[in-house]
Amino acid sequence: MTMLQNPPSHPIDHLVHSGAADAAALLIGDRVTTFADLDAGVGRLASWLLDQAGGPGERVASWGAKTRATCLMPLAAARAGLIHVPVNPLLKGPQVAHILADSGAALLVTNAPRAEMLGDDRPDACAVRDLKVAEEAIDSGGEGLPPSIAEPDDLAAILYTSGSTGRPKGVMLSHANLWLGAESVASYLKIAPGDRVLGVLPLSFDYGQNQLFSTWHAGAAVAPLDYLTPRDVVKAVARHRITTIAGVPPLWVQLVESDWPAETAALLERLTNSGGALTPSLIDAMRATFPNAAIYPMYGLTEAFRSTWLSPDLVAAHPTSMGRAIPHAEILVCRADGSVAGDDEPGELVHAGPLVAKGYWRDAARTAERFKPAPAASRYGGIAVWSGDTVRRDSEGLLTFVGRDDAMIKTAGNRVSPTEVEDAAVASGLIYEAVAFGIPDPRLGAAIILIVRGKGARDEEGLAAYLRQNLPNFMQPQAVEWRGELPRNPNGKLDRVAIAADWKVTA
């Protein structure tokens, strides 16, 4: 495992000093923000935020598209001693109101239409300021705050999970969590100052926010993008001469289905994936579409940022593997009693080390369920994240995802991973995506339902025949339904709860 005892870290706002002063750091439209401009802008925005929020320690939320102000907010808040709460721009008023109330935000920086969307749901104690005013503060030319002297363990941000299984909960992240996450990703992706990273993921998503941090840690430039269609991504790659894209599987499906000029596709050198596993067929399509790009499959969870990565030179031989621990992470596969599982023995993925978050904001009960003492075998010790994900480790130390304990389908006396059924369906080559779940059945305990998004002409008989050939009887779906589109949550992942709920309503 790749780890470093007591790794050094710095306040997260010090990232603005990572690149050459005159080097490009942020690319938005025709505007190029250098690292010197970034430092000055962060200082001015920090001063303005501190004045608006009322004092250090307050929570300040940002809710908007990827503007210069929203990109600088996480560093400016940290420099001011404030705690940043990024809100996904796709969320609706009631969801945002919950985040503001739960975090106790003193300030929300957003635009007028979003402020109106909140209406009377906005907590009385939360002031609202317009993003345009924040932009003016960045350009004010006034004296900004100097780099912070925060301690590594000081709270820097609260990131709210998507809430697909209930109301969002806030994950508390320290300066060390954010700094070491940036350092880790920049190192194993080998990002260099000449790279240009396209930021397509929401900045409220830990994976999306790290697009900024890891890029700046490496002294490179990031081009944030709010896209409506895959064609927007193609144009942005050509315009900014992008070398790196971080994505989730649904985005990669869209991009490999798009029309890429050969010279544009050839610009890409690095494709990273998290938020769901890549299937072998999708990997093949990515290789064919982007012939010069190395593919980096990764696994993470907000409570510990990122846990594993698979080196590109192993992807062809191990396309379904999660890989090994990232730098600064210790990953253990444990039995229920906390002992370490043997090779190829399923166990719970446990993440220890300095990337582990500080728990859930003002929620001691749920914190105690997930954040527990590290296993006795841990070299780091302290508090670890017990993920609830079942994985296997092979004799080479490579991990493979099995499924989530709370998502396992218990059918005919067997525990079935939805992922295994879904992977088999996608491997048929007849569909793009699949979601499997269980429904109560008096005979089986649970019956398996499979919802798929197909390729071209629907081939129900072909898919059924493939599943019969490749899955045992107890893993066969009772029903397979085809859809033209599948709903997604605000982070772009398939919304499994909505898909299952829709089937139960229409069945």
Domains of the chain by residue range: 12-321, 408-506
Strand partners, 323: 399
Instruction: Tell me the two tokens of residue 7.
Output: 């790794």
Residues 31, 212: Cα–Cα separation, whole Å? 17
Distances (CA, A) of 308 to 21, 332, 350, 399, 409: 33, 11, 11, 8, 25
Maximum distance among all Cα pairs of the chain, rounded to whole angstroms: 72
Q: How would you write the pLDDT of the chain (507 residues) with one tens digit per residue?
A: 444 445 679 999 999 999 999 999 999 999 999 999 999 999 999 999 999 999 999 999 999 999 999 999 999 999 999 999 999 888 878 889 999 999 999 999 999 999 998 988 899 999 999 999 999 999 998 889 999 999 999 999 999 975 433 467 899 999 999 999 999 999 999 999 999 999 999 899 899 999 999 999 999 999 999 999 999 999 999 999 999 999 988 789 889 999 999 999 999 999 999 877 888 989 999 999 999 999 999 998 889 999 999 999 999 999 999 999 999 999 999 999 999 999 999 999 999 999 999 999 999 999 999 999 999 999 999 999 999 999 999 999 999 998 776 677 877 656 677 887 898 899 899 999 999 999 987 767 789 999 999 998 899 999 999 999 888 787 899 999 999 999 988 778 888 889 988 887 665
Q: Nearest-CA neighbor of 202 among 70, 77, 55, 54?
A: 70
Exposure of 125 by Cβ count < 10 A (0-12 exposed, 13-18 middle, 19+ buried)?
exposed
What is this structure's pTM? 0.84
Q: pLDDT tens, 82-106? A: 999 999 888 878 889 999 999 999 9
Residue 163 has a pLDDT of 41
Instruction: Count the Cβ atoms, other than its own, within 10 Å of residue 311.
Output: 16
Are the CB atoms for 307 and 386 separated by under 8 Å? Answer: no
Contact by Cβ (8 Å): 91, 62: no
Cα–Cα separations (whole angstroms), residue 250 to 86, 137, 207, 253, 485: 23, 37, 15, 5, 11
Pairing mode of beta strands 294-299, 308-309: antiparallel
Helix (H) or strand (E) holding 398: none
Residue 155 has phi, psi (to 5 degrees) of -70, 130
Which two three-digit tokens encode residue 128?
Answer: 């609202």
Measure the CA angle with vertex 230, ends 227 and 235; round to 5°: 80
Between CA 281 and CA 496 the distance in angstroms is: 21
Tokens read off for 63: 């809710």
Query: Is the domain covering 408-506 a CATH 1.10.10.10 domain?
Result: no
Q: Which residue in 292, 288, 249, 254 sits closest to 270, CA to CA?
A: 292
* Integer Cα distance of 203 and 208 in angstroms: 5
CATH class of the domain defined by 12-321: alpha beta
